[in-house]
């Protein structure tokens, strides 16, 4: 059955994570994605191991996480013959996605102005550190520095009163969220093109994206005038909403309203706390956080994690274990929800991949292609899509314009 983007062709000239993540999502939704990679080495993340798939250093776990449902075409874009290939592919594409340093592709005649003249219906999406213009446009950057400089690390980690300091999130979340913004922007631009018939250039800065998704923390400052700080697992606008130590492990309690707080107090055997004027409403609890939490800390130590979770959930109080990734991907619920899928790659090796969370009722998510081997589809694309002869392909390979195994 066809996916929702089955009629869309993506020319993915991105690498690392933000762009590849966006292209993978579009591929999951059925788009035909061609990933353009540097001859010989490919996407930088191919070498970002260990671990490696089946011991092959060309297939790092990092690369595999962001590149399913794509074909790999290995082209040297610095060569005029390589630029000719890219232009020809762009003429057949609906979307060109790239995350080169600002001005790099324009220097090869592959920038948005040139490509939109070549194909006026093209959606040209650029992801960069600070955007395509402005005083910092040409500065390089990676996820960790964006988490730091765009505010996320200032609210992540233990509070200043405890040992430790600012922490980054355990995945490259600034990259991933920029990729998510790019995905939605591309879909919006495709819809706009369906109305106007015209493509356009989309500018996605990592920095601006990171600032945007600070969400309620941004508004806490804009309305309250006080810059939020680090609170560990606690929440600035909800109490009690944090991790607690039990007799054998931690659990995460997430009380979101007064009814849940009353139920929580009942479970803990502390019903008087629910009627205490210091804690009766959420604003009361926020204002008296330091007085409330020690009562809960001592009580949670009396029973095991699973005992408390069973009691809390039976009363409708949101709470959960703090599982490691091993548990998340191998437990009974993971099997029930089919969270991990196996797809055979071009070497007939089974690649384990985490499922896309979206469920369509009529146009299912696609799991047709494992992350490609470097240059795996170069010949197929040049011959089948662009009409190159075997002699021309051999000449391009000899001149190191293209690469394939």
Distance from chain centroid for Cα 308: 33
**What is the pLDDT, as a whole number, of residue 54?**
84
Q: Is 397 part of a structural domain of the chain?
A: yes
Domain assignment of residue 290, given as a range = 241-326
Q: What is the DSSP string of 52-78?
A: BGGG-TTSBHHHHTT--S-EEEEE-TT
CATH code: domain of residue 322: 3.30.1540.10
Same domain? 359 vs 279: no
d(CA 369, CA 181): 24
**What is the pLDDT, as a whole number, of residue 13?**
98
d(CA 334, CA 59): 25
**Up-side HSE of residue 203: CA atoms within 13 Å toward CB?**
14
Same domain? 245 vs 315: yes
d(CA 192, CA 290): 51
CATH code: domain of residue 54: 3.40.50.10540
- The answer to whether 68 and 371 have CB atoms below 8 angstroms apart is yes
| Nearest to 103, CA basis, from 140, 66, 70 | 140
Q: Which residue has the tokens 């790019």?
A: 182
Q: Is 335 part of a structural domain of the chain?
A: no
| Nearest to 372, CA basis, from 74, 89, 96 | 74
Q: Is 399 part of a structural domain of the chain?
A: yes
Catalytic (active-site) positions: 175
If one counts the domains in the chain, the total is: 2
**What is the pLDDT, as a whole number, of residue 41?**
93
Distance from chain centroid for Cα 106: 27
Q: Which residue has the tokens 């170069």?
A: 378
**What is the pLDDT, as a whole number, of residue 56?**
62
Q: Hey, which residues does 10 pair with through a beta bridge?
A: 33, 95
- pLDDT tens track, the chain, 405 positions: 789 999 999 999 999 999 999 999 999 999 999 999 999 999 999 999 999 998 666 789 999 999 999 999 999 999 999 999 999 999 999 999 999 999 999 999 999 999 999 999 999 999 999 999 999 999 988 999 999 999 999 999 999 999 999 999 999 999 999 999 999 999 999 999 999 999 999 999 999 999 999 999 999 999 999 999 999 999 999 999 999 999 999 999 999 999 999 999 999 999 999 999 999 999 999 999 999 999 999 999 999 999 999 999 999 999 999 999 999 999 999 999 999 999 999 999 999 999 999 999 999 999 999 999 999 999 999 999 999 999 999 999 999 999 997
Same domain? 322 vs 362: no
Of 265, 297, 326, the position where a domain reaches its end is 326
Q: Which helix (H) or strand (E) holds 201?
A: strand 200-205
**What is the pLDDT, as a whole number, of residue 137?**
94
Same domain? 199 vs 284: no
- The answer to whether 190 and 94 have CB atoms below 8 angstroms apart is yes
pTM (predicted TM-score): 0.95
Tokens coding 340: 């991990």
Q: Are strands 250-254 and 123-128 parallel, antiparallel or unpaired?
A: unpaired
Q: Is 295 part of a structural domain of the chain?
A: yes
Q: Is 264 part of a structural domain of the chain?
A: yes
Q: Is 306 part of a structural domain of the chain?
A: yes
| Nearest to 403, CA basis, from 123, 75, 119, 16 | 75
């Amino acid at each position: 059955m066809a996916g929702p983007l089955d009629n869309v062709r993506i020319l993915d000239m991105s690498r690392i994570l933000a762009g590849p993540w966006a292209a993978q999502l579009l591929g999951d939704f059925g788009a035909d994605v061609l990933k353009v990679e540097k001859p010989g080495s490919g996407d930088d993340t191919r070498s970002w191991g260990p671990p490696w798939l089946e011991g092959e250093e060309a297939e790092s776990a990092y690369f595999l996480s962001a590149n399913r449902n794509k074909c790999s075409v290995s082209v040297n874009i610095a060569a005029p013959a390589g630029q000719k290939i890219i232009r020809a592919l762009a003429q057949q594409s609906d979307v060109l996605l790239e995350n080169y340093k600002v001005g790099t592709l324009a220097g090869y005649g592959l920038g948005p102005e040139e490509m939109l003249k070549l194909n006026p219906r093209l959606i040209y999406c650029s992801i960069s550190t600070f955007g395509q213009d402005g005083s910092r446009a040409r500065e390089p950057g990676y996820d960790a520095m964006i988490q730091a400089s765009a505010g996320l690390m200032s609210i992540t980690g233990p509070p200043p009163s405890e040992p430790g300091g600012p922490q980054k999130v355990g995945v490259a979340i600034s990259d991933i969220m920029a990729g998510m913004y790019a995905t939605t922007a591309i879909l919006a631009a495709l819809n706009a093109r369906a109305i106007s018939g015209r493509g356009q250039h989309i500018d996605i800065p990592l920095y601006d994206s990171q600032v945007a998704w600070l969400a309620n923390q941004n508004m806490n400052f804009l309305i309250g005038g006080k810059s939020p700080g680090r609170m560990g697992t606690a929440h600035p606008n909800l109490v009690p909403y944090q991790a607690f130590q039990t007799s054998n492990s931690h659990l995460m309690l997430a009380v979101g309203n007064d009814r849940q707080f009353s139920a929580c107090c009942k479970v803990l055997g502390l019903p008087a706390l629910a009627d205490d004027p210091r804690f009766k409403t959420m604003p009361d609890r926020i204002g008296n956080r330091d007085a409330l939490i020690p009562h809960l800390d001592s009580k949670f130590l009396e029973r095991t994690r699973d005992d408390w979770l069973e009691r809390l959930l039976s009363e409708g109080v949101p709470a959960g274990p703090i599982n490691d990734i091993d548990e998340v991907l191998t437990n009974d619920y993971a099997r029930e929800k089919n969270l991990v899928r196996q797809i055979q790659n071009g070497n007939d090796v089974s690649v384990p991949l985490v499922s896309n969370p979206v469920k369509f009722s009529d146009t299912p998510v696609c799991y047709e292609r494992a992350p490609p081997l470097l240059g795996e589809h170069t010949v197929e694309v040049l011959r089948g899509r662009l009409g190159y002869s075997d002699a021309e392909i051999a000449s391009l390979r000899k001149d190191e314009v293209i690469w394939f195994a």
